[in-house]
Amino acid sequence: MPVPQIPDFRPGVVVGTVPDVLNEFLRDPMTALLDPPSFVARRTSAWNLTENVHQNVPWDSVSEDSHSGWVSGAVVGGGASSTLSVAAAVADNSITVASAASFSSGDWIRIDTGANAEYRRISAPAGNVLTFSATGGGTGLARTHSIGAAVTEVDGDPTRYTVPDGWSGWWLVDAVVSLSGTGAAGLVAIPGVSVNNQSQTGEGNAWEGCEPFVPTGASTEPKHANGTWRIYAAEGERVQLDLWFSTESAITAADVTTGRECRIGLVWDGV
């Protein structure tokens, strides 16, 4: 359902029958306002982290997606696959695979599996090197990946919510990032909402978010940070939740304890 538009009546211009006009300018906009796009998701399975690195949360449990803005990152049946022939390091913008013959420009790939999985879009392969596309979250890798790790074509990136067609406007976002393990003094965790993998205000050098100190005690002690944002995102743009935490700790994973997971909720708030 499109966002309501301002009626434009011009003298001498036929705009359709009265029922058509009433439907277009009254019924349809009011129906849209009663059912705005919304998205609610959590990360419930193990997810490994790297300190002092920006990493988008890959959602795996979606309880609400009213306008189908999310994809699961499922393996494409009959799609391309290979393995790493060279170990990949944090911040790498490309990977080398055993064979790139079945990969094409624009493919979405999953690098590694399970808690270590990362998702990227690729440009045209050069030999056996797959370079990450700038339009596909082209930031460097957030984790290391060993030789032999699987590289598989998937249907998209589960860290993204893509704004549906016709729903450009302001969005309310509420989100939480959560860490697991025992921290050290001065541990800071920052949740940040990005639009098209960039600062949602266009002003910062990274993704703006609150910067709270979190508990540093035993692994059973909750370590989370939350934030609320009002952002502008146009149709087709992607909204992601970034997790960054400081180098004071040895924490290497997100908390997936029920009720303490990373989570996000967003809803369209107007034009």
What's the whole-number mean pLDDT along residues 232-261? 91
Highest-confidence range of 159-163, 202-206, 208-212, by mean pLDDT? 159-163
Compare 138 and 106 and report the one with higher pLDDT: 106
Torsion-angle region of 106 (φ positive above 0: left; ψ -120 to 50: alpha; else: beta): left
pLDDT (0 to 100) of residue 265: 98
Band the pLDDT of 70: cuts 50, 70, 90.
very high
Tell me: the pLDDT tens digits for 165-190? Answer: 999 999 999 999 999 988 777 888 88
pLDDT (0 to 100) of residue 185: 78
Question: Looking at residue 124, what DSSP letter applies?
Answer: -
Tell me: the pLDDT tens digits for 91-136? Answer: 999 999 999 999 999 999 999 999 999 999 998 899 999 999 876 6
CA distances from 218 to 36, 120, 178, 223, 226 (A): 42, 34, 14, 10, 20
What's the whole-number mean pLDDT along residues 212-235? 83
Alpha-carbon distance 229 to 166, whole Å? 21
pLDDT (0 to 100) of residue 6: 57
Compare 269 and 203 and report the one with higher pLDDT: 269
Band the pLDDT of 32: cuts 50, 70, 90.
low
Place of tokens 């270590």: 116
pLDDT (0 to 100) of residue 66: 95
User: Other CB atoms closer than 10 Å to residue 193's CB: what's the count?
Assistant: 26
pLDDT (0 to 100) of residue 250: 80
Give the least confident one: 26-30, 145-149, 209-213, 221-225: 26-30
